[in-house]
Amino acid sequence: MDLVHLTKLLGLPEFVVTAYTFQEDSSILLDVKHRHKVAVCPECERVSSEVFEYEERIVRDCSVFDRHCYLRFQGRRFSCGCCGKPFTERLQSIGFNSGYTKRYEERVFQLCRENTVAHVSQTEALGYEAVEGIYTRQAGEAAAARRALFPRVISID
């Protein structure tokens, strides 16, 4: 398969697919690289290109071709040239320190709303605690988003 088309199919704005491997467990492993060589410092919000550490990360994504899908990439730590503080890159499609893409967590949440946690755990080949944790996090975020729509104080003159 053409990697350009696979990158479009993946649909994650910060990554480009560089290779893929079909694993023995019938999953697919996509090797991806960062589209950009810079990151924004969360402290001073300046752009930094000073990478000082790489760490291989593998995160779960939504299934591709009816196979469990994992993304393998180099997580990066930067040193900010402006404020001097080190920081771990924040990614748009993967939560900080998460082992799953945001869209995969949303999918697991939707599956849990229609099925039991045990069923989702079995069909997604995830531990019960992992599914329960994803559900709890996503439910909390959904509740916070709904609360933000309503006024916090109502007063009468």
Is the pLDDT score of 64 beyond 90? no
**Alpha carbon of 109 to those of 6, 11, 70, 92, 126: distances in Å?**
26, 20, 18, 19, 13
Confidence (pLDDT) at 157: 66
Q: What is the Rg, in whole angstroms, of the alpha carbon atoms belonging to the chain?
A: 19
- pLDDT tens across 20-37, in order? 999 999 999 999 999 999
Distance separating alpha carbons of residues 23 and 123, to the nearest angstrom: 18
If we measure between CA atoms, which residue out of 85, 76, 132, 77 comes closest to residue 109? 132
138 and 101 in contact (C-beta within 8 Å)? no
Among the listed ranges 52-61, 78-87, 126-135, 140-149, which one has the minimum average pLDDT value? 140-149
Q: Distance between CA 147 and CA 109 in Å, rounded?
A: 19
Q: Which residues pair with 19 in a beta bridge?
A: 31
Q: Which tokens sit at 78?
A: 């930067």
Domain ranges, ordered by start, for the chain: 100-150
Which residues have C-beta within 8 Å of that of residue 38, sequence separation ≥ 6? 47, 48, 49
* φ and ψ of 91, to 5 deg: -110, 140
